[in-house]
Amino acid sequence: MPSEIERKFLVDRLPAELDDEAGDEIEQGYLAIGDDEIRVRRRGDAHVLTVKRGSGLARDEVEIPLTREAFSELWPLTAGRRVEKTRLMTSVEGETAEVDVYRGALAGLLTVEVEFADAEAAGAFSPPRWFGSEVTGDPKYSNQALAVDGVPMR
């Protein structure tokens, strides 16, 4: 089963070179939450069903493309468990960093995630100064918790 190895950080301010108008709009909603999560996501014209298992640095992950019609059928089932954000991409130390600028009820929250090929690379990564506190593995900052509980108190 494919796995995802990533570290997640809070961001206080976007670096000047990132333009939050140039990102991809993402809407995702959760069909099932917990250590095993099932979500649907719309990113531009792409629609995906994702299943994730586990928590922390490394998680199992499977993504299955959906038709627009299948997404539309599933979307209402996510009411009350949704996240809206703009995703910006940038390069950091040769890795791709995904910066999420949250909208709606989560407006003002900024996070950045970096995905790695293995745990060794993740451990060797030195975040740049604009990365804030690390929240990898903090359940309050998982997207499913944000979708249900909102922005945690720091």
pLDDT tens per residue, range 124-145: 999 999 999 999 989 999 999 9
pLDDT band at 1; cut points 50, 70, 90: low
Query: What residues are annotated to the active site?
Result: 30
Domain chopping of the chain, boundaries = 3-149
Cα angle, residue 141 at apex, residues 139 and 126 outer, rounded to 5°: 105
pLDDT tens per residue, range 21-46: 678 999 999 999 988 999 999 999 99
Whether residue 13 is predicted with pLDDT greater than 70 in this model: the reply is yes
Cα separations (Å) of 108 from 16, 37, 47, 146? 17, 25, 26, 13
pLDDT band at 20; cut points 50, 70, 90: low
- Residues 116 and 59: their CA atoms lie apart, in Å, by 12
- Residues 148 and 154: their CA atoms lie apart, in Å, by 17
Percent of the chain having pLDDT more than 70? 97
- Residues 71 and 46: their CA atoms lie apart, in Å, by 10
CB distance 117 to 123 below 8 Å: no
For the segment(s) 3-149, the CATH number from 3.40.309.10, 2.40.100.20, 2.40.320.10, 3.30.450.40 is 2.40.320.10
Mean pLDDT taken over the chain:
92
pLDDT band at 154; cut points 50, 70, 90: low
pTM of the model: 0.90
Write down the number of H helices and E strands in the chain. 3, 8
